[in-house]
């Protein structure tokens, strides 16, 4: 049952499959939800068979302990999927995100050209941020594959779970999955540093231990790329600092001021012209002025630098949305709604 449903979602250009006991299978496509064809409601027996097929002993233990578990799943020669299983009362929910087999180039994603400057970075930290479902994984995969094709480097990825699969080009890429190959991101970072890395991708900056290990890796001459679930660039810095006790926050600001290279926050929105989703983004380049604000704890002033930092390649969400509107990717109503939402969000920060 699962393979047939996943293949249907992939063939129909959907982004997600939702399975819930007592409900018919649902597909998300371009942010909208649809029941799938003439399917019947999912029964407890069917869901248990799906879980038996997907979960290892480790996965079962994690699901019972944490009530949620992520894994990767692949239909050979079709697509890969990132799967989340969670508790729903007495039963379970399954959500599977489609991960295309081919990694899209940066140009096809309409990513800012300045991201290609990443090939010139020998160390430091690069962050891609945004709410869940806004394409962070695809952006990072495209960046990593660009590095893979452009540089003769050793690239390690630490993921939960592995999503896009890379083939060695000019670089050598090793991918490790939480629960299968590594115990935790922070412990994996410790050992990866002994394996001659040049570039390290950490799936998510999810706790202070991982952040401390990532900072240590960047300080020792490595380029660290990661993601975090934040809605704009200044909030990203605050979120990282706030994970630490107050007595450590000053030192963390100093380290971030020295190590951060750039932060890109992104949003996806439906677009007829794009025949799918259009990307709006905020891009912060860590110039000396930005570093000073981070060091002094004045991140609320970063917005003004973003607004005047065009000569450095910086861009605000508002400017990005305006570009999408003028290029015909989104309507004026969509642009206005998103800009208003940004204003409200900043007021409530």
- Of 40, 69, 99, the position where a domain reaches its end is 99
Same-domain pairing of 43 and 12: yes
Structurally, the chain folds into a number of domains equal to 2
At 31, is the pLDDT very low, low, confident or very high (cuts 50, 70, 90)?
confident
Residue 48 placed within a domain = yes
Are 167 and 224 part of one and the same domain?
A: yes
Domain identity same for 265 and 337? yes
Dist CA 65 CA 93 (whole Å): 16
**Residue 257, pLDDT score:** 98
Q: Are residues 95 and 118 in the same domain?
A: no
94/189 same-domain check: no
Evaluate if residue 79 carries a pLDDT over 80: yes
pLDDT at 124: 98
- Tokens describing residue 73: 């799943």
Residues 185 and 293 in one domain: yes
Last residue of a domain, one of 99, 126, 150: 99
Quick one: which of 235, 211, 209 has its CA closest to 224?
211
- Mean pLDDT across the stretch 134-163? 97
Q: Can you give the pLDDT at residue 248?
A: 97
Q: Residue 200: what pLDDT?
A: 98
* Position 149 in a domain: yes
**Residues linked to residue 231 through DSSP beta bridges, in sequence order:** none
For the residues 208-226, what does the mean pLDDT come to?
97
Residue 104 lies in a domain: no
**Mean pLDDT, rounded, for 90-102:** 92
Residue 146 lies in a domain: yes
pTM: 0.91
- The pLDDT score that the predictor gives to residue 153 is 98
Same domain, 180 and 310: yes
185 and 308: one domain? yes
- Does residue 262 lie in a domain region? yes
Which CATH number characterizes residue 92's domain? 3.30.450.90
Q: What pLDDT, on a 0 to 100 scale, did the predictor assign at position 253?
A: 98
End position of a domain, from candidates 99, 126, 158 = 99
Within this chain, do residues 125 and 18 fall inside the same structural domain, yes or no?
no
Does residue 105 fall inside a structural domain? no
Quote the CA–CA distance of 141 and 162 in Å, as a whole number.
11
159 vs 272: which has the higher pLDDT: 159
Q: Domain of 128: which CATH number?
A: 3.40.50.300
Give phi and psi for 284, each to the nearest 5: -110, 125
- pLDDT above 80 (res 52): yes
The Cα–Cα gap between 27 and 48 comes to: 20
Q: Which domain holds residue 127?
A: 113-348
Q: Which of 56-65, 123-132, 266-275 tops mean pLDDT?
A: 123-132
* Residue 106 within a domain: no
Q: Is the pLDDT of residue 347 over 80?
A: no
Beta strands (DSSP E) in the chain are: 16-20, 26-29, 32-35, 68-75, 79-88, 91-99, 124-129, 154-159, 172-177, 199-202, 223-228, 260-271, 276-285
Higher-confidence residue of 89 and 150: namely 150
């Amino acid at each position: 049952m699962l393979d047939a449903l996943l293949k249907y979602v992939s063939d129909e250009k959907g982004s997600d499959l939702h399975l819930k006991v007592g409900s018919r299978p649902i597909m998300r496509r371009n942010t909208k939800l649809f029941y799938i064809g003439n399917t019947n409601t999912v029964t407890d027996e069917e869901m248990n068979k799906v879980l038996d097929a997907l979960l290892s002993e480790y996965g079962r233990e994690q699901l019972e302990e944490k009530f949620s578990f992520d894994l990767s799943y692949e239909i050979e020669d079709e697509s890969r999927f990132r799967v989340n299983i969670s508790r729903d009362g007495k039963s379970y929910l399954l959500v599977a995100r489609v991960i295309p087999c081919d990694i899209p180039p940066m140009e096809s994603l309409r990513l800012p050209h300045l991201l290609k400057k990443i090939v010139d970075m020998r160390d430091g930290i690069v962050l891609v941020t945004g709410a869940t479902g806004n394409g962070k994984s695809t952006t990072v995969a495209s960046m990593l594959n660009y590095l893979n094709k452009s540089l003769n480097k050793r690239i390690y990825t630490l993921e939960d779970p592995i999503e896009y699969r890379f083939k060695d080009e000019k670089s050598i890429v090793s991918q490790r999955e939480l629960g299968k190959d590594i115990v935790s991101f922070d412990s994996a970072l410790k050992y990866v540093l002994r394996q001659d890395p040049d570039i390290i991708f950490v799936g998510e900056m999810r706790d202070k231990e991982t952040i401390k290990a990532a900072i240590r890796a960047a300080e020792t001459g490595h380029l660290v790329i990661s993601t975090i679930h934040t809605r704009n660039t200044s909030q990203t810095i605050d979120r990282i600092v706030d994970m630490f006790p107050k007595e450590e926050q000053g030192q963390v600001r100093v380290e971030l001021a020295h190590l951060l290279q750039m932060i890109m926050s992104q949003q996806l929105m439906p677009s007829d012209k794009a025949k799918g989703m259009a990307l709006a983004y905020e891009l912060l380049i860590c110039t000396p002025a930005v570093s000073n604000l981070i060091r002094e704890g004045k991140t609320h002033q970063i917005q003004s630098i973003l607004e005047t930092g065009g000569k450095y390649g910086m861009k605000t969400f508002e400017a990005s949305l305006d570009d999408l509107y003028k290029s015909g990717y989104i309507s004026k109503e969509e642009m206005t709604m998103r800009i208003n939402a940004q204003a409200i969000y900043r007021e409530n920060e």
